[in-house]
Structure 1
Amino acid sequence: MTALCRFTLARLLHSQRYLPPVLLFLALVTVLTSSDSGPLTAVYGVCAGSMFLTSCWLTVSLVNLDEPQGRAIAVVSSGSARRLFAADALVALGICLLLTLFGLAYPLVAGHHTVQGVQLLVGAAAQLTAAATGIALGLVCSRPVVGRPGYSLLAALGSALVLPLVPRLPPLNPLLTLLAGRRPAAELVWPVGGLAVLAAGLAVAAVLVTDFVAARRE
């Protein structure tokens, strides 16, 4: 799996399709968190929302890299379509991990906040929760499921803009609601941690569902 992930990452870097979603995240975090002096958890909520949109776009771009014929060759080379989808998800998650570091650090440099370790923990968990949720959405909206790359990206980004607004729809809406509140960061550790576990489960389920639907379409 390590070699497959390296191969997938190399293909993504060569294609440069990672640039639009990554630049979107950097721009949103820079614009929306600069000179902020509010609660740090609320600022990290903004970063988490940005991460959700970015991870979804990044995953769709990654899965849609190849034409169907090229994807079929990659499936044969990797051993199974499920392994290839899993590699796509892991590569997207790895890039989101790097972006999380920026999302944690930039608000501290550009804003005015009193920093506690528990706030950083909650912020990291929130952004990774959003990343896993976006990856799950990106997988089920990718071309092996939807069929056409344009419709695939449109479905993914449209859903990414709407789903966070649906009241009580886990994990993203409850996550953003928690972070936007005035509760101390120490009280958010377990609720955010539970949502992170749920998001990880959704990402795993999305790999299985995407593999199943793609096999049926073939």
Structure 2
Amino acid sequence: MIALVGYMFTVLLLSQRYLTPLLLFLGLVAVLTSSDTGPLTATYASVAGALLPCSVWLTVTLIGLEDHAHRSIVVVSAGSHLRVLLATVGTAAMWCLLLMAAGLVLPLMFGAHTLGLADLALGIAAQLICAFTGMAIGLVCSRLVFRRQGYALILALVLLAAVLLGKGVSPVNIMLTHLQSASDSADALAPTAALLAVTAGFLAAAVAMTQAITRRKA
């Protein structure tokens, strides 16, 4: 599994197709946090929101790097579709972790903040919520599920709008709304961690659904 993740990470790195979501994320963080002096709860909520579309983009891009024939060879070498799918999720998570590291540090450079352990933990949890949600959307809107990418793009946009605007329903919307008005990271940490567990379940469900569809098409 480690070798498979390393292979996929290298393929995406050499393709340079990670650059667009990376530059989009850095640009959004710079715009949203430049000269910011407010509480880090709201700042990290903005950073997490910026990570959401970028994680979708990275996941879809990673799955779309190889054509059907090449992916079939990778599946045979790996031993199963599930191993390849899990390696894909692991690779997407690694790229999201790199973006998350930048998302934790850049607001401290662009604005005036005092970082505490609770702020750091909250920033990680908030970004993981959006990363897991984005990866789940990316999986169900990938070429593994949709052969016509035009339909996949429309669905991805609809799902992004739903998770961002679904008041009281979407964990992402609940988290962003709560953090924008919260003033203390320690108080916001427990409910954010609960939402993180929910989004981890969403990602697991997206993996299971994608695997079922992939096996049926195989």
Instruction: Please indicate the TM-score interval, normalised by the length of the shorter structure.
Output: over 0.9
Q: Deviations over 1:156-202 (max 9, x none)?
A: 24422442111122321111111111342111111111111122222
Contact 1:60 1:156 in 2 (8 A): no
Question: How far 1:20 sits from its partner (Å)?
Answer: 0.9
Contact 1:57 1:157 in 2 (8 A): no
Letter in 1 for 2:119: Q
Q: Distance in 1 between matches of 2:25 and 2:71?
A: 28
Q: Deviations over 1:133-171 (max 9, x none)?
A: 111110011011111234434432442244211112232
Question: Taking structure 1 as reference, are residues 153 and 78 closer, same or farther at Cα in structure 2, changes over 3 Å only?
Answer: farther
1:132-143 equivalences under 5 Å are 132-143=132-143
Letter in 2 for 1:113: H
Give the gaps of 5 or more residues in structure 2.
none
Query: Which residue of the partner structure matches residue 194 of structure 1?
Result: 194
Secondary structure at 1:146 match in 2:
coil
Q: Distance in 2 between matches of 1:47 and 1:140?
A: 24
Moved over 4 A (4+): none
1:106 aligns with 2:106: yes
1:212 aligns with 2:205: no
Contact 1:137 1:156 in 2 (8 A): yes
Question: How far 1:18 sits from its partner (Å)?
Answer: 1.1
1:114-129 equivalences under 5 Å are 114-129=114-129
1:40 aligns with 2:64: no
Letter in 2 for 1:41: T
Q: Distance in 2 between matches of 1:115 and 1:4?
A: 37
Query: Which residue of the partner structure matches residue 152 of structure 2?
Result: 152
Letter in 1 for 2:95: I
Query: Which residue of the partner structure matches residue 31 of structure 2?
Result: 31
Contact 1:60 1:153 in 2 (8 A): no
Q: Distance in 1 between matches of 2:138 and 2:104?
A: 23
**TM-score, reference length from structure 1:** 0.94
Cα RMSD between the aligned structures? 1.5
Secondary structure at 1:144 match in 2:
coil
Number of aligned residues: 218
Letter in 2 for 1:67: D
**TM-score, reference length from structure 2:** 0.94
Contact 2:163 2:170 in 1 (8 A): no
Contact 1:49 1:176 in 2 (8 A): yes
